Chains A and B, each alone.
Chain A
Amino acid sequence: MDFSVLDIPLIDFLQIDLPALLVAVFAAIVCAIPGSFLVLRKQSLIGDAISHVVLPGIVAGFLLSGTLAAIPMTLGALGAAVISVLLIELIRVLGKIETGAAMGVVFTSMFALGVVMLEQTGSSGVHLDVEHALYGNLESTLWLGLEKWSDLWSARGWETMPLRLQQLSIALICVVAFVSVFFKELKLSTFDPLLATSLGFSARIMSFGLVIATALAAVSAFGAVGAILAIAMFICPPSAARMLTDRLSSQLWLSALYAGLSAILGYGLAAFGPLVLGTDFALNAAGMIAVVAFVLQFVTMLLAPRYGILSRRIKSEIETEKAPS
């Protein structure tokens, strides 16, 4: 083999690969946590809808504030998410239409609006790109303050931490705080919304909180992986975890584990795979993370000890053998 991973200079790894990896892992985990609740509530497609409508929200925040700063764009995205959820509800009730179709109307319209608005940003100097909106720009994260491992613990390392990583860490802290503070409420309102409401806290407020958490996750993952691939982070790791456990806490831990693993393996395959093969083509890392997330989920669906397809087959065969013929 002419090339090997070890040939990459440490400084390149620290400045280019490490920040991208961290961003990927954080983005995947911040999505997987609200994603677990969405999968359990059979609302996975809310994640789909919200990660689409984040686009017009971000662009609106950008157009109104004129900067690429995080706060106006996040506020725009949260606003867009809330508007879209309200619109979906309005259309569902008035039009007597199933939620799925109402969602389809809202998120495609808002995404199209976002695309048209994106073109308006072209004249204002800072350009947001349609392609980055679709599959992110993970590779562009640089951490120039890192030259050796010990810089990670130095003041200089911390000061030059990429903005995107800072934002993702804040979002991750917020989402984790929300889930730990309201764990009991979220649990009850997920599994028994009627009981939750009769116990005195509104299941509706919890759903609303979940929408906000989802939107926050979607907007912070947006820069790294774009609108569409964030859906993989919302749904694949929690679905894999769902195959393994019935406990909410293990569901959350396992989702985070799957998310982190997908991010590391996916980024590794995309960045170093071609090198190992000795070719020089580049592969999109965000796309590869989605593919790896699916492969892990697929393997889990087949092999999960209790709910996996294989173990169910074997169980049913044993039962037919036992049964008197």
Chain B
Amino acid sequence: MTDLQFKLFQDLLGILGLQGGYNTSLVLIGSALLGAVSGLVGSFSLLRKRALIADAVSHATLPGLVLGFLVAIALGFDGKSLPFLLIGSAVSGLLGVLMVQWIRDNTRLPEDSAIGTVLSSFFGLGVVLLSYVQTLKNGSQAGLEDFLLGSTASMLRSEAELIAVIALLLSILALAFRKEMALVCFDAGFAQALGWSVKRIDLIMMGLLLTVMVIGLKSVGLILVIALVIIPPVAARFWSDRLSTMLILSSLFGALSCYLGAALSALAPDIPSGATIVLTASSFFVLSLVFAPQNGVLAAALRFTAFRIRLCSDQVLSELNKGEPVPDSLTKAIGLYQLRSRGLVAPLSMEITREGHHYLASLQEEN
């Protein structure tokens, strides 16, 4: 480790231990809360199979964001005051969702085409508006592009506080409705039969998702904010089939991703914080993909190998029975070793034991 790397490492530890100054610490805490609530809300939208509607919503926020800016300066406020931008984004994100549903319900186009249409054309409109804003002689528009790929570095104290408070409120709401949302996710028909309004619960879920993404725009940016509501839940899904475990893990992954990602981006101010946050989330995902006990790649490979060895040892046993005793390959040698350790073949010989004959008989019955 060079001195520079050591220095960076020390800085990182300092920032992670909330020693990086009051502002940075507040941003980290706000980000962690944001990550936790997006993991929570994202889990429900994943289970409701609506993950990619979030993609349409997030890109669709751009025109509203820029219009929010224009309205703010028209009213004489600072163009980048967060409430205006957030409300504008929320309105156009909502319009995006409604447009997706309208296309899906009224035309022959499938939902995925509707999503693609809305996300790209709303984004296009946003880009046009952005290019218009950049020719204004106002000056305060510099930094509006921060919302594309996120910037925790430029986050003000008041903004971090606002995000933290909304994130807290959203998680209380999500936890309050968790039973209703869970039932709608797993069995919408049953929920309807119980007399619940599935439509209303879906609306609550969509509202939570929209709000989470809007408050995530500043730190993660609108291109990547969708990752916040998809990657932690998918990573958590690998570890458990139980909803409560999944919710806890997903919130934890989300919180850690945002916390670590924001800390990393405080070290490297050139890199947009959205990218560092998303890559941190992806590394949690990769760990889950490889190591998760039931569904992980490693577990699957182990299961597959065990199955192969089992098949091979069965084959060796029947060959021994027919009097073709010499294992001619490594896999067969492993099979023979397995047979001996299971006590089906006598040690140090090729004799099939009594248990071995029983086992052979049971195999033949199965066939």
Q: Is A42 an interface residue (CB 8 A)?
A: yes
Q: Is A282 an interface residue (CB 8 A)?
A: yes
Q: Is B276 an interface residue (CB 8 A)?
A: yes
The complex places the Cα of A78 from the Cα of B228 at a distance, in Å, of 27
Residues in A with CB closer than 8 Å to B223 are 111, 134, 228
The distance from the CB of A140 to the nearest CB of chain B, in whole angstroms, is: 14
**A45: contacting residue among B108, B112, B131, B149, CB under 8 A:** B112
Residues in A with CB closer than 8 Å to B274 are 112, 115
Q: Is A231 an interface residue (CB 8 A)?
A: yes
With A95-B295, A101-B230 in contact, do A229 and B124 touch (Cβ < 8 Å)?
yes
With A94-B297, A115-B149, A115-B275 in contact, do A229 and B107 touch (Cβ < 8 Å)?
no
With A95-B237, A95-B238, A284-B128 in contact, do A293 and B278 touch (Cβ < 8 Å)?
no
**A283: contacting residue among B116, B132, B148, B278, CB under 8 A:** B132
A105 engages B234 (CB within 8 Å): yes
**A301: contacting residue among B46, B103, B279, CB under 8 A:** B103
Residues in B with CB closer than 8 Å to A39 are 109-110, 113
- Name the residue on B nearest A109 (C-beta): B282
Q: Is A116 an interface residue (CB 8 A)?
A: yes
Q: Is A290 an interface residue (CB 8 A)?
A: yes
The complex places the Cα of A134 from the Cα of B46 at a distance, in Å, of 26
With A39-B113, A113-B279, A242-B108 in contact, do A102 and B131 touch (Cβ < 8 Å)?
no
Q: Which of A151-159, A200-208, A232-240 lies at the binding interface?
A: A232-240
A231 engages B238 (CB within 8 Å): no
B116 engages A104 (CB within 8 Å): no
Q: Is B78 an interface residue (CB 8 A)?
A: no
A294 engages B131 (CB within 8 Å): no
Q: Is B121 an interface residue (CB 8 A)?
A: yes
The complex places the Cα of A116 from the Cα of B51 at a distance, in Å, of 25
- Name the residue on A nearest B235 (C-beta): A105
Q: Is B127 an interface residue (CB 8 A)?
A: yes
The complex places the Cα of A39 from the Cα of B113 at a distance, in Å, of 6
A116 engages B107 (CB within 8 Å): no
B128 engages A45 (CB within 8 Å): no
Q: Which residues of B188-226 have CB atoms within 8 Å of chain A's CB atoms? A: 223-224, 226
B116 engages A109 (CB within 8 Å): no
B120 engages A235 (CB within 8 Å): yes
Q: Which of B52, B276, B300 counts the most chain A CB atoms within 10 A?
A: B52
Q: Which residues of A100-140 have CB atoms within 8 Å of chain B's CB atoms? A: 100-105, 108-109, 111-113, 115-116, 119, 122, 130-131, 134-135
Q: Please encode chain B, from 264 to 278, with 1 for each CB lying within 8 Å of some chain A CB and 0 for all others.
A: 000010111011101
Q: Please encode chain A, from 36 to 78, with 1 for each CB lying within 8 Å of some chain B CB and 0 for all others.
A: 0001001111011000000000000000000000000000000
**B272: contacting residue among A115, A232, A284, CB under 8 A:** A115
Residue tally, chain A, CB below 8 Å to B: 62
Residues in B with CB closer than 8 Å to A178 are none
Q: Is B125 an interface residue (CB 8 A)?
A: yes
**B52: contacting residue among A100, A112, A307, CB under 8 A:** A100
Q: Which of A44, A96, A112 counts the most chain B CB atoms within 10 A?
A: A112
Q: Is A317 an interface residue (CB 8 A)?
A: no
A108 engages B272 (CB within 8 Å): no
B132 engages A281 (CB within 8 Å): yes
A119 engages B109 (CB within 8 Å): no
Q: Is A219 an interface residue (CB 8 A)?
A: no
- What is the size category of the interface that chain B forms with chain A? 35 or more
- Name the residue on B nearest A308 (C-beta): B107
A42 engages B123 (CB within 8 Å): no
Q: Is A287 an interface residue (CB 8 A)?
A: yes
The complex places the Cα of A232 from the Cα of B289 at a distance, in Å, of 32
Residues in B with CB closer than 8 Å to A286 are 124, 127
Q: Please encode chain A, from 73 to 104, with 1 for each CB lying within 8 Å of some chain B CB and 0 for all others.
A: 00000000000000000110011111011111
A104 engages B54 (CB within 8 Å): yes
With A94-B289, A109-B227, A109-B278 in contact, do A45 and B52 touch (Cβ < 8 Å)?
yes
The distance from the CB of A33 to the nearest CB of chain B, in whole angstroms, is: 16
The complex places the Cα of A48 from the Cα of B117 at a distance, in Å, of 10
The complex places the Cα of A287 from the Cα of B120 at a distance, in Å, of 9
Residues in A with CB closer than 8 Å to B233 are 101
With A102-B234, A130-B149 in contact, do A290 and B289 touch (Cβ < 8 Å)?
no
A234 engages B295 (CB within 8 Å): no
**B120: contacting residue among A94, A104, A229, CB under 8 A:** A229
Residues in A with CB closer than 8 Å to B278 are 108-109, 111-112
Q: Is B130 an interface residue (CB 8 A)?
A: yes
A228 engages B285 (CB within 8 Å): no
Q: Is B80 an interface residue (CB 8 A)?
A: no
B124 engages A105 (CB within 8 Å): no
Residues in B with CB closer than 8 Å to A43 are 112
Q: Is A270 an interface residue (CB 8 A)?
A: yes
The complex places the Cα of A109 from the Cα of B278 at a distance, in Å, of 6
**A91: contacting residue among B51, B149, B276, B289, CB under 8 A:** B289
Residues in B with CB closer than 8 Å to A239 are 109, 113, 117
Footprint of B on A, CB under 8 Å? 39, 42-45, 47-48, 90-91, 94-98, 100-105, 108-109, 111-113, 115-116, 119, 122, 130-131, 134-135, 228-229, 231-232, 234-236, 238-239, 242-243, 270, 280-284, 286-291, 293-294, 297, 301, 307, 309
Can you show 14 pairs from A to B with CB atoms below 8 A apart? A45-B115, A95-B289, A100-B49, A104-B227, A105-B282, A108-B227, A109-B285, A130-B149, A228-B123, A242-B113, A243-B108, A243-B109, A287-B126, A301-B103
